[in-house]
Chain A
């Protein structure tokens, strides 16, 4: 009888121990994945200043870095996602050529957020425009509304995703400004990868930041400024 009790006790002990061992890493990972516990602050306005004079035609380092960071395929078929792309432009009257990266411009008044029926397209308090992958129903209205053609629709099943950057077949996605890096104090992969430091990232609201000082001192423009969307991405040398 007592033998049986002992066995039962041992069994319970072992079970509880095994359960603890099984759950603990999950709990640890959960707390890691949570990142910072406080929400984004509206005192911050994240943005980028892109110096087109420093952006070399043919250089694709920012695109490659983005693809690696976010687990994109790097292919450029019409159905493949491209969160950032290089655009070569040539002034029709003068023939002047400029190369620049184009991505989600993280507008203050984003049309994608206005048109999204389910609030999946949203703007964080710190100005980053994102898609909630759990709410997106894949209607693609945001892609119709975006003036910068910044968004891609996931046309195929996905494999080997980056755990920090969840994506989903049948939903829309775009540049997140590498929000998973920003939230732990880092900066976007494209900005880090640019060999000429042409992409300056920072807080536009912090007057001591490099980006705010540069925006004050050099001439920069917003693409399609006529639409009055006040993008967080600005271009120098256009």
Chain B
């Protein structure tokens, strides 16, 4: 009896901690809703966005969440499509994270609209040439499909359909991330965008970001349950994360190299990578160094095999992802449209000028609300349902 008292106290503490986490998450979400109310009543004037930088901080959060929501399903695909047991054991958690992040991301996107009250219009008036309209279907279809996939895993009678659902999810998420990349790839006149390289770049980035999120959540769940992940499993997943990071770095490098080769793109590349103030700083220090080089060292350097270093690497990859998206989305808009090539241009509407942008607190509150919605869905689900990876003692793939 006396030996079980500390355990009981620890359980009580954990129980309180769980509710505390929910309260904090709920408060962050509520603060986001307050920001939405303010943006609704006063207009977007209270944000940092303007007629030049039309998509701001909320879009950085939303696109990260949506891209990572697709990438996290890699874990599920490797399990269901390619039949690897340690990944299959993690497929339910990956699916849950996907639903959680896409819900958070979509909430941010919808609540940033100028008229979020008209969201039903987006469902009833459908322009078939619009990538946004395709994405309405792709995003909602994804949630539906992943729910079915989860069902085939968690309900024994549905198990035979698991492979089919897994392949469906595998294909769907490729199309989905292509759709997210196409939002930018279809922008013909902006120098930062309008490249066919963007959809594949987003797909590879999604692998790295999704895997990083998965790692971080998995580490937290293992810590919470005072369990230790099998070092051989950790090592395999670490290497996969490393490969994804290298792959995404390759895509980003190719995108910038091709731009730098075209004379008409060199001004823009110089701005983003050399003299554009915050953008080169975020790119080199935030994305390249902290988001790629440091995590790669943490993942591959011999001697540091502890899981907490892997978790730190995952966290840095996520932060690097935010830095890259800020440079890509905001920096891409800050660079002026080239209406008159070969001319110096001035006007009252910021033609020919680098546009200024400083995000307001309301934008951060909305973005953080998206994160907290994903957090709340995950935390509650992990508590009430069985998402803990169940590894068999012996794994033979």
Contacts and interface: CB of A to CB of B under 8 A. Distances in A.
B3 interface: no
A82 B122 CA distance: 27
Interface stretch (B47-55, B204-212, B281-289): B47-55
B51 A78 contact: yes
B233 interface: no
B336 to A, nearest CB: 8
B343 A154 contact: no
Interface string B180-200: 000100111110000000000
B127 interface: yes
Given A86-B347, A87-B345, A117-B133, A137 B54 contact: no
A90 interface: yes
Given A78-B350, A149-B349, A89 B51 contact: no
Q: Which of B119, B347, B356 has the most CB of A within 10 A?
A: B347
B113 A87 contact: no
B339 interface: yes
B177 interface: no
Interface residues of A, number: 56
Nearest to B351: A87
Contacts of B343: 89-92, 98
Interface in A153-188: 153-157, 168-172
Interface-centre pick from A114, A138, A139, A148 (highest chain B CB count, 10 A): A139
Contact of A144 (B42, B50, B55, B127): B55
Interface residues of B, number: 49
Interface string A88-126: 111111000010001000000001011111111000000
Contacts of B51: 78-82, 143, 149, 151-153, 155
Contacts of A102: 339, 347, 349, 351
A152 B356 CA distance: 16
A147 interface: yes
Given A78-B50, A144-B333, A171-B115, A115 B45 contact: no
Contacts of B347: 85-88, 102
A170 B115 contact: yes
A115 B348 contact: no
Contact of B54 (A77, A87, A140): A140
A78 B115 CA distance: 20
B19 to A, nearest CB: 37
A215 interface: no
B232 interface: no
A147 B337 contact: yes
Nearest to A84: B349
12 contacts: A86-B347, A87-B340, A87-B346, A102-B339, A113-B129, A117-B130, A120-B125, A144-B333, A145-B186, A147-B189, A155-B50, A170-B40
- 6 smallest CB-CB distances across A and B, nearest first, come from A138-B114, A170-B114, A147-B189, A117-B132, A78-B50, A89-B343
